[in-house]
Amino acid sequence: MSLFFFLLLIGKKNKTLADNSLLCMFAVYALTIGGPYIEIYNRDNDFPYPHLLNNAWLFLLLHGPLLWLYVKSLTVKDFKIKPLHLLHLAPFAVFLALHIQNYLLLSAEEKILLAENELFTTTVFFKIRGISIGISSIGYNIWAFRLLQKHRKNIEHQFSNIEKIDLLWLKTLVIASLIVFSVNVFLFNINNYLHFAGFYEIALIAYSFSTVYVFFIGYFGIRQGRIFVDYPIKEIEQRLESINQDSPGTGKKKDYSHIISRLTILMESEQPYLDPELNLARLSSLMKTKPEIISEVLNSTMNQNFFDFINKYRIEEFKLKCLSTENKHLSVLGIAYDCGFNSKAAFYRAFNKFEGISPTAYISKVS
């Protein structure tokens, strides 16, 4: 399956850094998941390829760094790989050197002996590598989760509809991965001392999940479009950071009453929130004001992010339209679409957030 997705991405034109990082992930997954099949073939056929035994584990140390790179390339606009980022490969390089010294230089007979009775699981090196892989897998998944949390907050400052760009699918996959790998790492390391199961029996859990993992990240990853296109992300983030650093009463809070007045008039007269694709850049163009200024006004003065600000207007518009006799022929969802929402899930979440009840319950109540 990894090779299938790898070949799909190879043929993709105009690949982004996210595509290339995903490409590397599939190549590494193919080596990681394919390794055990080679080992099974060896064990079932009197070890015709002993030098291919016990090598796949090494690539597990690349899973975390590649996941980090993929998430970074998706969530950071114009992200570039720098020489400092190569430090992420340090654990892989160190263990590769140790693996060469402790295993690859052994004779074929010695490798077969270690594999036949799983004697390699009794070595100190095996225990150290198990702990290191566990730290890497769990640590990078937590890191990826935090990056995705930050991404969610950032896009809420810039977009009014975020379903296609919130990377919820990846966040869910990271959480599932974190749970499964945590359990698996625990079992591997406890088994080193209690010996309640064979090495390959426990490994089966990890590789079974890996197959499902590859399917989901391949299916959603290839379909994931670009998130940031010509948005002043860095300027907005810097402005928001300066707002958070300013404490009340320091005299740094600016008077934006004139901008709030203009913004209110624009929202009520031109109703830009009816556009499902409205974002901060488009609103700033209508206002003829820099996006970072509008973002600062919303956050420091109105205590809202852009996402909530726009969707609050859409909810109020829905509340008016659902009572109008002109819209009796429309369904609840049809009215929601007319108000600027682009999906049922987004509409219901927003309505429950602002009104505390479902749209249908609200209509029954006011009717």
Task: Give the whole-angstrom CA distance, residue 232 versus residue 173.
Answer: 29
Residue-range domain boundaries for the chain? 2-223, 233-303, 308-367
Q: How long a stretch of residues is the chain?
A: 367
Closest CA to 64 of 32, 38, 36: 32
Please give the backbone phi and psi of residue 221, each rounded to the nearest 5 degrees, phi first.
Answer: -65, -40
Please give the backbone phi and psi of residue 8, each rounded to the nearest 5 degrees, phi first.
Answer: -60, -45
User: DSSP letters of 194-232?
Assistant: H--S-HHHHHHHHHHHHHHHHHHHHHHHHH---S-SS--
Could you give the angle at which helices 257-269 and 280-287 cross, rounded to 10 degrees? 100
Cβ–Cβ under 8 Å, residues 323 and 350: no
Residue reference for tokens 């030098």 = 51
| Per-residue pLDDT at 238 | 53
| Per-residue pLDDT at 84 | 96
Cβ–Cβ under 8 Å, residues 274 and 286: no
Cα atoms in the Cβ-side hemisphere of radius 13 Å centred on 151 = 24
The sign of the CA dihedral 351, 353, 355, 356 is positive
| Per-residue pLDDT at 195 | 75
pLDDT tens for the chain, 367 residues: list them. 788 888 888 888 888 999 999 999 999 999 988 888 888 888 889 999 999 988 989 999 999 999 999 999 999 988 999 999 999 999 999 999 999 998 999 999 999 988 887 777 788 888 898 889 989 999 999 999 999 999 999 999 999 999 889 999 999 999 988 988 888 888 877 877 777 777 767 777 777 778 888 888 888 888 887 776 555 555 545 554 554 554 444 445 577 889 999 999 999 999 999 999 999 999 999 999 999 899 999 988 889 999 999 999 999 999 999 988 888 888 999 999 999 999 999 999 999 999 999 999 999 888 7
Closest CA to 239 of 292, 283, 279: 292
| Per-residue pLDDT at 36 | 81
What burial letters (b/e) apply to 80-107, b meaning 16+ CB within 10 Å?
A: eeeeeeeebeebbeebeeebeebbeeee
CATH of domain 308-367: 1.10.10
Other Cβ atoms less than 10 A from the Cβ of 217: the count is 24
Which tokens is 111 given? 């490798």
Task: Give the whole-angstrom CA distance, residue 2 versus residue 26.
Answer: 5
Residue reference for tokens 């090495």 = 199
Question: Model's pTM, two decimal places?
Answer: 0.84
